[in-house]
Amino acid sequence: MNRLTGKVALVTGAGRGIGAAIARAFAAEGAAVVLAELDGAAAEATAREIANGVRGAQTLAVQTDVTQPASVRAAVEAAQRAFGPVGVLVNNAGINVFADPLTMTDDDWRRCFAVDLDGVWNGCRAVLPDMVQRRAGSIINIASTHAFQIIPGCFPYPVAKHGVIGLTRALGIEYAPNNVRVNAIAPGYIETQLTHDWWNAQPDPQAARKATLDLPPMKRIGRPEEVAMTAVFLASDEAPFINASCITIDGGRTALHHE
């Protein structure tokens, strides 16, 4: 339970879902964790939950808008003041924007890329100078299986997630000589509150749930904690030679041939 002892980690979108699971797992493994979240109340609640559930946990909630570079820099500076240099960054914050390409508004396009791609870049740009100077750091970008397989009706979300993979690989290669690793995790269907909300919005929620669970070969979908386990591994000293790579967590869904 000490795989991240001595490390300072900043997780964006850490108020709920995958981000909260990663923050919880990092704290359990000994990291000081900064929860950078647009919804400040959600970040505070998750930070309290972690502090109550993990003995000796060090947490800090910071209201952060990843679309604004200054806001991200402020979160990094708050982390440095509280705990020291940020050694691990998880760019998890993201939104779903699904639209018809020809009827989608310019605002929808900009909103998708502002959060899902620019937000990742803003996080990387905020921590890289110090990581490069210290010659140490791990950046983990949460991508998606949408970066590999296109599902009709989901535009422009997969375009942004393709960009996240490109950014991950480019930065990983650029800063490899400085011992800074940049990797991605591509989750498939994960059982978060957003997933439940989508099921409940369908005409037949139970049928929608069953259809989703039938998709992966394992006949279930992932749990946020399963994504968090991989993030812990990439953040730890157990993955020193993994760089510019992407780990897919989808129960084999993207490997399955579809008739």
The per-residue pLDDT for range 99-130, each reduced to its tens digit, is 999 999 999 999 999 999 999 999 999 999 99
The per-residue pLDDT for range 50-81, each reduced to its tens digit, is 999 999 999 999 999 999 999 999 999 999 99
* This prediction's pTM: 0.96
Superfamily of domain covering 8-191+222-253: NAD(P)-binding Rossmann-like Domain (3.40.50.720)
Neighbours of 133 (CB within 10 A): 11
Annotated catalytic sites, by residue? 157
Task: Give the pLDDT confidence score for residue 1 in this predicted structure.
Answer: 74
Which amino acid is it at 82?
A
Instruction: Break the chain down into helix, strand, coil percent, rounded to 5.
Output: 50, 15, 35
> Based on the number of CB atoms within 10 Å of its own CB, is 104 exposed (0-12), middle (13-18) or buried (19 or more)?
middle
Does residue 259 register a pLDDT over 70? no
- CA-nearest of 19, 40, 29 to 90 is 19
Q: Which of 34-43, 142-151, 228-237 has the lowest mean pLDDT?
A: 142-151
Contact 75, 34 (CB under 8 A): yes
